[in-house]
Amino acid sequence: MSTKKLVDFLQTTDAYPDKTNGIRLVQTHISWVFIGDDYVYKVKKPVDFGFLDFSTLEKRRFFTHEELRLNRRFSPDVYLEVVPISRSGDSYRLGDGKDVIEYALKMKRIDEGKMLYELLKENRVNKDDMVRVGRHLSSIYGKIQSDEKARSFGTLETISTNVIENFDQTGKYVGGPISKDKFHALESWSRDFMDANKSLFDARIEGGHIKDCHGDLHLQHICMEDSGISIFDCIEFNERFRFGDVASDVAFLSMDFDFNSHSDLGNAFVDAYIDASGDPNMRDVLTFYKVYRAYVRAKVTSFMLDDTGLDESKKRSAHETAQQYYDLAYSYIN
């Protein structure tokens, strides 16, 4: 299959059963996203990054169905169906189950201008909005069970593996976006917290707070339209990035508000979530997970510095953003 030919086909309005005046293509490193007037079709790229493997059609079929299943927990009206793409002579056809060469996830288009990140830039978010988000998320997570599989991701051994991996993967950036002193301070604090709080992590397991969560809950994945709140782009491709303490997801969004200089809104969200969920002990691990989440964002941004395809301007921007995330993580322990 020629991916270029398929991508070209999916950029034509005639490719779709839904009438649309135009198609806009947005690419990420793992997907092609085709945006029409009312619907969006997302196709996974045939890539393998180790932590993510979409290299075969069967794997792309599986993870496209997983993306549908997992995200329906958060936005059932947005995530609609998996659509097969079949060969049709020298072209392709959507919705035919014969001679399938690819799969697309069909979603209802949401209003990009109502993304929480966009609203925040325009100062159109208030504390009442964040109370709504906190209560909404509490309702969703309250319906997700903490089963035996989920609980295994809450052990100190698993948490420690994830945390220490971050420092192992970012040591080479010492002297760049992070100083030696801050690197060692953050690593020591994280290790000390885990060593001193095994009973706390055990209590989180026993309390039923380890679940199959979202994994990537930040400002750009929440939309506040008049009809309600939509949450999307849950991580489907790696269970280790998704399963964990609900506090880690709550901390991620709270940290993102801190990063964007709106801690007051993040605090309103956290307070509302805790009040609605009846989970006051979340506060005992919240700083730990905010450090972890800020550091992960710093790490991922730092990886861009190794990309030989990026020009110097983009690398300077990545360096600055990574440094800001490292500094935010450090601010939580001082």
CA-CA distance, 111 to 22, in Å (whole number)? 16
What number is the average pLDDT over the span 192-197? 98
Element (H, E) at 310: none
Per-residue DSSP letters for 122-157? TT---HHHHHHHHHHHHHHHHTS---HHHHGGGSHH
Nearest Cα residue to 242 out of 149, 106, 108: 149
- Residue 155 pLDDT > 70: yes
CA distance 78 to 68: 10
Kindly give the residue spans of alpha helices, DSSP state H, lying in the chain.
3-10, 57-71, 116-121, 127-142, 148-151, 156-170, 180-196, 198-206, 239-242, 246-259, 263-277, 283-303, 312-331
Does residue 98 register a pLDDT over 90? no
Average pLDDT (171-177) is 98
Instruction: Determine what percent of the chain is predicted with pLDDT higher than 90.
Output: 94
**pLDDT tens track for 315-324:** 999 999 999 9
Across the chain, what does the average pLDDT equal?
Answer: 96
Q: Is the pLDDT of residue 310 over 90?
A: no
DSSP assignment of 36-81, as one string? Answer: -SSEEEEEE-S-B-SS-B--SHHHHHHHHHHHHHHHTTT-TTTEEE
CA distance 332 to 186: 10
Burial class (CB in 10 A: 0-12, 13-18, 19+), 130: buried
Query: Two tokens at 104?
Result: 């697309």
Q: What are the tokens at 98?
A: 């014969």
What is the tens place of the pLDDT at every residue in 268-293? Answer: 999 999 999 999 999 999 999 999 99
Q: Which CATH superfamily is domain 116-331 in?
A: Aminoglycoside phosphotransferase (APH), C-terminal lobe (3.90.1200.10)
Q: What pLDDT, on a 0 to 100 scale, did the predictor assign at position 226?
A: 81
pLDDT digits (tens, 9 = 90+) for 201-253: 999 999 999 999 999 999 999 999 887 999 999 999 999 999 999 999 999 99
Q: Global pTM?
A: 0.94
CB environment 218-247: b (16+ within 10 A), e (fewer): bbebbbbeeeebbbbbbbbbeeebbbbbbb
Sorted by sequence, the CB contacts under 8 Å of residue 308 that are 6+ apart come out as none
Distance CA 142, CA 306 (A): 41
What is the pLDDT confidence band of residue 1, given thresholds at 50, 70 and 90? low
Sequence ranges of the domains in the chain: 3-109, 116-331
Query: Could you identify the residue written with the tokens 């919705």?
Result: 95
Residue 153 has a pLDDT of 97
User: Residues, the chain, total?
Assistant: 334
Question: C-alpha distances in angstroms, 287 versus 40, 58, 139, 244, 252?
Answer: 37, 40, 23, 15, 10
The first and second tokens of residue 138, run together, are 């509490």
